[in-house]
Amino acid sequence: MPAFQVRGAILDYDVTGTTGPLVVQLHGLTSSRERDGQLGLNLARALRGHRILRFDARGHGLSTGTPVEADYGWNRLADDLLALLDHVAPGETVHGIGPSMGTGTLLHAAVAAPERFRSLTLVTPPTAWKSRIAQRETYLANAEMVEHGGIAAFVQHGSTAPVPPALADAPATSITIPEDLLPTVMRGAAATDFPKKKAIAKVEVPTLILAWSGDRTHPLKTANLLHELLGHSRVVVARTPYGVMAWPGLFAEFVTMVEQSEAA
């Protein structure tokens, strides 16, 4: 697999397809591009005639990490993303898609460099702003849990959490972060947040928001707030596994629509 070194970490990535516009696909916290595939969240799979860049965020999957909590803030992960885009597709505008942590990363990247994006697809937006406060405490508690009880205690605790209806049929998967790095990543996630609302409101990139119901860590309130802030956006909510199964097709239609609009 190709690899790219940035800020002390080596990002593992792959590009499928040889021609067409570039799509960059991110993943969520504790996941990876392989794990997202197992969960049915390889959302660019229905798109044809495009190059698809997928990579594991620092500390996740096949990428290496750094022992610095701040490196896992969404703003710093956005720096990683933009550096990787400069390496893979210098000067090219791209379609970006990513769930949860990937959404936070894309928002920071779009605020910092809106000219790099033709479209944004924000999937299962996580807690943000006021709702981030309680989530911050959860992540800090998780970090301490791993330090005292190991990753097994963390996994066992997570197995008792409510499952969103849209994930009712999802297979069991494993955390992709090494045990010794997980507390650092969790504390980095606890300290991060979306960009300020005023900054997001200035982003004029066409945006599709794919959310699901019944998930306190990815509340519909965040998706709706983003829809209010982003003037060129649409929200689609999945309430069953069938709703999630429709997402790759919705994403492909959205990308096609954006490109046709540009050509008109």
Its pTM stands at 0.96
Token pair 């803030």 in the structure block, residue? 73
Domain boundary assignment for the chain: 3-263
SS3 state at 49 = coil
Token pair 């390889």 in the structure block, residue? 42
Domain 3-263: give its CATH code: 3.40.50.1820
SS3 state at 238 = strand
What phi, psi does 256 have (nearest 5°)? -60, -45
Q: Give, for all 264 residues of the chain, the pLDDT tens digit.
A: 789 999 999 999 999 998 999 999 999 999 999 999 888 889 999 999 999 999 999 999 999 999 999 999 999 999 999 999 999 999 999 999 999 999 999 999 999 999 999 999 999 999 999 999 999 999 999 999 998 888 887 777 665 566 788 887 777 788 899 999 999 999 999 999 999 999 999 999 999 999 999 999 999 999 999 999 998 999 999 999 999 999 999 999 999 999 999 887
Q: Which helix (H) or strand (E) holds 108?
A: helix 101-112
